[in-house]
Amino acid sequence: MKKILVTRKLLKENEDRIKKLFDVKLNEQDKVYSSDELIELSKDCDGILCIGGNKFDSYVFEKLSKSVKIIASYSVGYNNIDINLATKNGIIVTNTPEVLTDSTAEIAILTLLGAARRAYEGRQMAESQKWTWACNFLLGKEMSNAKLGILGMGRIGRAIAKRAKAFGMEIHYHNRTKLSTAMEEGAIYHDNIKSLFNNSEFLSINCPATKETTHLINENSIKYLPNEAVVSNTARGDIIDDLAMIKALKSEKIFALGLDVYNGEPKIHPEYLKLNNVFVLPHLGSATLKTRVAMGNRSIDNLENFFNNKKPKDRLN
């Protein structure tokens, strides 16, 4: 029976299943393993089910046991894994697309709404029990009939567009490639971010984290947005240059920012926490029972297929 290291604690449904299929090392304490612990614990394993927090970089791949043949990532994003080094070391990498599309799209809408309608300030006022209604009390911005720019029109971006249409929003997008007319469903394509941002009263960030997208939202590109735009990031934290965004929030160039992801998680730039126009969540995009069970099962499916000499559905290399 093949031996698998699981780097974080899974939900019971997933642990029960994986124990039936493999000789498995579970992380009962749900500890975030250091690179050295990861290397040591996996030295007699055939595969790793990786759940966040662990970087598979040159240090790890240099020392990782040659017995490890697959890393099944419990996520859509895989920027914590150096795919080129994995390939060089003969290790297959998989992820879990599709199953968290709807839950992440819901969080994107929540962060846009929460930021635009000043939900954080509203909660503060409600807790103070000292607020008084007035015509100008906590005036926000309506999403209805506004222009929504989507940066990254993959599965999640398209799911956000579908939901945004219920608000009567006009959808604009930038993607590495233009979608087919059928997939666009009326969305307007822009071949550069300047053009997209010019047409984004609301902006949803949904592109992958790559070297090219690091700090794509910066002091220069923020200038392309209309004054008092609302921005949401449910992709990866390093797409935003924090210092530039904080400056734009303070100057009110950006009306409000919704974040489900940010640099240095769980730490966050302290200036964000001083601003009332930041609506922030602790990376809840996939946090529903249905989605997390599906992610676990998708990871296990990939492991099972690989060791049964079938091509994993979600192979990345």
Active-site residues, by number, are 236, 265, 283
CA distances from 183 to 171, 202, 252, 279, 314 (A): 13, 21, 35, 31, 21
Distances (CA, A) of 4 to 62, 97, 186: 19, 21, 46
Q: Which amino acid is at 78?
A: Y
Helix-, strand-, coil-residue percentages of the chain, each rounded to 5? 35, 15, 45
Residue pair 293/11 in contact by the 8 Å Cβ criterion: yes
Pair 6, 33: CB distance under 8 Å: no
Is the separation of the CB atoms in 317 and 92 below 8 Å? yes
**Strand ordering across the sheet containing 147-151:** 188-189, 170-174, 147-151, 202-205, 229-233, 254-259, 278-280
Q: Are 218 and 231 in contact (CB under 8 A)?
A: no
d(CA 81, CA 73): 9
Distance CA 37, CA 60 (A): 10
Alpha-carbon distance 253 to 75, whole Å? 34
Residue 77 is inside which H or E element, if any? none
